Chain A
Amino acid sequence: GAGVSQSPSNKVTEKGKDVELRCDPISGHTALYWYRQSLGQGLEFLIYFQGNSAPDKSGLPSDRFSAERTGGSVSTLTIQRTQQEDSAVYLCASSLEAGEQYFGPGTRLTVT
């Protein structure tokens, strides 16, 4: 079956604009994660959704960042009033409740 997909693959935006990044997890996977991969910074956890439980938002760097997961499937990560330091690759992963995480190809965000 299809793996995790993300769109867009690349996004260039001006500082101050809002952006939305989309993640389509593997069908049937109950858990969904967002990470950020910055140059030289490794992987940074952002937010985690598990079924109908309240999401773990402990990794969101500021209140400009938010995420939703509709119907237990597709997720959207929204960054408001983007700043240059938001430039990074944003990765989405999904998993069954106790299984390995499957990653999408990422969205490369560039804030100019």
Chain B
Amino acid sequence: AQRVTQPEKLLSVFKGAPVELKCNYSYSGSPELFWYVQYSRQRLQLLLRHISRESIKGFTADLNKGETSFHLKKPFAQEEDSAMYYCALVRAGNNRKLIWGLGTSLAVNP
């Protein structure tokens, strides 16, 4: 069965420190993976997707098929990065149903 695991419910770092939000997945096919972010009092929005291999707001994520991971990283965290982060997987095919992790709440302290 497809599954997305985010092992950390809460992650607290200091401003300027590196941050890594972990995401592991189980899927037998070729997954498409995403990171979504929800800032306080804002709607859920796409942060980045693995197929575009881009950096958004300083965040990057690399798909590691060997480790079935898609960890989100930023070298220097900022206070405005404090938010809820969700890792999600979309199955190949017609049904683009996202399979979600439970989310990691990131707190960046001054």
Contacts and interface: CB of A to CB of B under 8 A. Distances in A.
B98 A101 contact: yes
Contacts of B97: 33, 45, 48, 56
Contact of A100 (B43, B49, B102, B103): B49
B79 to A, nearest CB: 24
B100 A42 contact: yes
Contacts of A79: none
Nearest to B46: A100
A105 interface: yes
Given A31-B96, A48-B97, A103-B44, A43 B86 contact: yes
Interface residues of B, number: 17
A45 to B, nearest CB: 6
Interface residues of A, number: 24
Interface string B82-110: 00001000000011111111110000000
Contacts of B44: 91, 93, 103
Interface in A37-62: 41-45, 48, 50, 53, 56
A50 B96 CA distance: 9
Contacts of B43: 3, 103-106
Contacts, number: 46
A41 B33 CA distance: 20
A12 to B, nearest CB: 19
A30 to B, nearest CB: 10
A2 interface: no
Interface of A: 3, 31, 33, 41-45, 48, 50, 53, 56, 91, 93, 95, 97-98, 100-106
20 contacts: A31-B96, A33-B97, A41-B102, A42-B101, A42-B103, A43-B86, A43-B98, A43-B103, A45-B97, A45-B99, A45-B100, A48-B96, A48-B97, A50-B95, A50-B96, A53-B94, A91-B44, A100-B46, A101-B98, A104-B43
